[in-house]
Structure 1
Amino acid sequence: MVTTTPTPQGTLTGNVLFYSNPEPLAKELHSKMGVKRMDGPFAFAKVGHAVPLTVGEFPLAMVTGPIIFVGDEKLPIAVMGLNAGENMFVKDDGTFEAGIYIPAYIRRYPFVFANDENAKQMVLCIDRGAEFVTDTDYDMGFFEPNGEPTEYTKNCIEFCNNFEIERQRTMGFVQLLKDLDLFETKEATFTPPGLDGTPGETQKIAEYFGVSEKKLNALPPAKFVELRDNGALGQIYAHMHSLVGWDRLIALAMTRASEQPAPVLNS
């Protein structure tokens, strides 16, 4: 389900973006289940206008749209649409527009790690609500006849393990920005043209957290060099440069709106 603020991973409770029916993957439950190949496997992501992002993805994601931080935890997300529940880059056939970076959060679906509070460990879950998860005519099963995970499942486990490592690294990156007090509240705005061509009333599209260029430039030289040497500075600049993507999203929305057929008025 879509949440206004995407939910951090690591829990089986609450709303987690895209996952409608997650359950721990187990041979007792899923030995005769698997996934079927689909020409358009990303239809589920059409409702994801704000998708969680890991810090290592910033340089790739910055060319698609804004990278912003939201909520008390300052969760980094890739903005992929201006309206809640509408990913502007997923086509009706379940494929992404050409040249769009697909976040790892989307690519790992229908798998997800979650915390088992009782066992105090991470467990791998599968979304039984996924369109391509089935118990009939599947192309890639979850388990071998002997109960061992298939090569497909092993690869998915490795992907999720790597994602979890990157998620932890992202938390450390965000904490670093918090410790240096680099965040500030930002707004994305749009000034539509009036009927006479003059600028109309400015509209606020979004409010979010971002790195303050003023605060960044005011850091002591030694701290600035430290950010450069540990790689954080490059990620910060990727975030800051990505914010021009608001203009791209606005232009795309206006273009699509202009292509809509005019309503037919009854006489």
Structure 2
Amino acid sequence: MTDTTANTSEEGLAGSVLFYEKPEPLSAEHHGTLGVDPVDHPYAFVAKSHVVPLTVTEFAPAALSYPVIFVGETRQPVAVMGLRPTENLFIEPNGEFRAEAYIPGYVRRYPFVFANDDAQKRMILCIDRAAEFVKEGGAAKLFEDGKPSAYTQQAMEFCNNFEQERLRTEAFVTLLKDLDLLETRDAVFTPRNADGTAGEPQKLADYYAVSEEKLKTLPAKKLAELRDNGALGQIYAHLVSLLGWDRLIAMTFQRAAKTPAAANA
């Protein structure tokens, strides 16, 4: 829902969500003349982030493009899109995703996002006022006659669906924790010396992943439950996605070859 009297401060929202520099509770009073224009570089805002959060139902399509891993204390699922913290290998110079890459819902909902209004026990639709394509008199109006436009209503529906998927993802991660299936792993690259011998291994990242050994030792009844509720399929998608580390390494070398200066950065 869109609210104009939310007890949510701008300071409380800013900086708390990846990509959102100046999120504001959306209202006709403050944003009635704004709209969204098409831009030349639609996904440029993702170019300096090497990971993007995922929901559990995205594991399968995302696995075709990226390693899907779990990070942080909350074991947040993310798609790994680069090996360097400020480099996304899947964003082209024109600000588009690579044609074959899956675009996560977290990215597609931008510049909109839901925020918690704890005082009123509800969710508030916000917009990133700093987004370059949110402009005065923009083509896709946010409001018409003081009411949310069709464009804004579609955004609200998308964000609402995303919120439901986010809650489903939290439940999935809790299940993995309860079954003690997550373990720490390292992504390692072993370069080749000039003579063809193996060089010194280099750690690229450490993260959490499902332990295949622990998965195998689960009781048959529990495995059947995971299969029936769809969790087992998502787990396998995650495990298969880990083969994507080699793709990221290859893409990193390809980009460095095109821009030699980056290799020494």
TM-score (norm 2): 0.92
Partner of 2:160: 161
Supply the distance in 2 between the matched residues of 1:16 and 1:168 (Cα, whole angstroms).
Answer: 16
The Cα shift of 1:117 comes to 2.7
**SS across alignment from 1:114:** strand
Equivalent residue letter for 1:55 = V
Partner of 1:5: none
Partner of 2:187: 188
1:201-238 CA distances to partner (integer Å, 9 max, x unpaired)? 00000000000000000000000011000100000000
Equivalent residue letter for 2:142 = F
Residue 170 (str. 1) matches residue 169 (str. 2): yes
The Cα shift of 1:153 comes to 0.3
Supply the distance in 1 between the matched residues of 2:85 and 2:240 (Cα, whole angstroms).
Answer: 23
**After the TM superposition, which residues 33-182 of structure 1 pair with which residues of structure 2 at under 5 Å, given as runs?**
33-136=34-137, 138-144=138-144, 146-182=145-181
Partner of 1:8: none
Supply the distance in 2 between the matched residues of 1:208 and 1:62 (Cα, whole angstroms).
Answer: 16
1:125-161 CA distances to partner (integer Å, 9 max, x unpaired)? 000010100114x1101000x2111100000000000
Native 8 Å contact 1:12 1:115 kept in 2: no
Native 8 Å contact 1:112 1:125 kept in 2: yes
Equivalent residue letter for 1:259 = K
Partner of 2:17: 16
Q: 1:202 to 1:261 in 2, by over 3 A?
A: closer
Partner of 2:29: 28
1:143-197 CA distances to partner (integer Å, 9 max, x unpaired)? 00x2111100000000000000000000000000011000000110001111222
Structure 1: where are the runs of 5+ without partners?
1-10
Q: Equivalent pairs: percent with the same residue?
A: 58
The Cα shift of 1:259 comes to 3.0
Supply the distance in 2 between the matched residues of 1:208 and 1:68 (Cα, whole angstroms).
Answer: 7
Supply the distance in 1 between the matched residues of 2:228 and 2:118 (Cα, whole angstroms).
Answer: 37
Supply the distance in 1 between the matched residues of 2:197 and 2:187 (Cα, whole angstroms).
Answer: 20
The Cα shift of 1:262 comes to 7.5
Partner of 1:257: 256
Supply the distance in 2 between the matched residues of 1:258 and 1:81 (Cα, whole angstroms).
Answer: 16
1:55-111 CA distances to partner (integer Å, 9 max, x unpaired)? 000110001110000011100000011110211111121111111000000000000
Q: 1:167 to 1:85 in 2, by over 3 A?
A: same
Supply the distance in 1 between the matched residues of 2:96 and 2:30 (Cα, whole angstroms).
Answer: 30
Residue 248 (str. 1) matches residue 252 (str. 2): no
1:231-262 CA distances to partner (integer Å, 9 max, x unpaired)? 00000000000000000000111122223358
The Cα shift of 1:13 comes to 5.4
Native 8 Å contact 2:41 2:96 kept in 1: yes
RMSD: 1.4
The Cα shift of 1:40 comes to 2.9
Count of matched residue pairs:
251
Q: 1:201 to 1:213 in 2, by over 3 A?
A: same
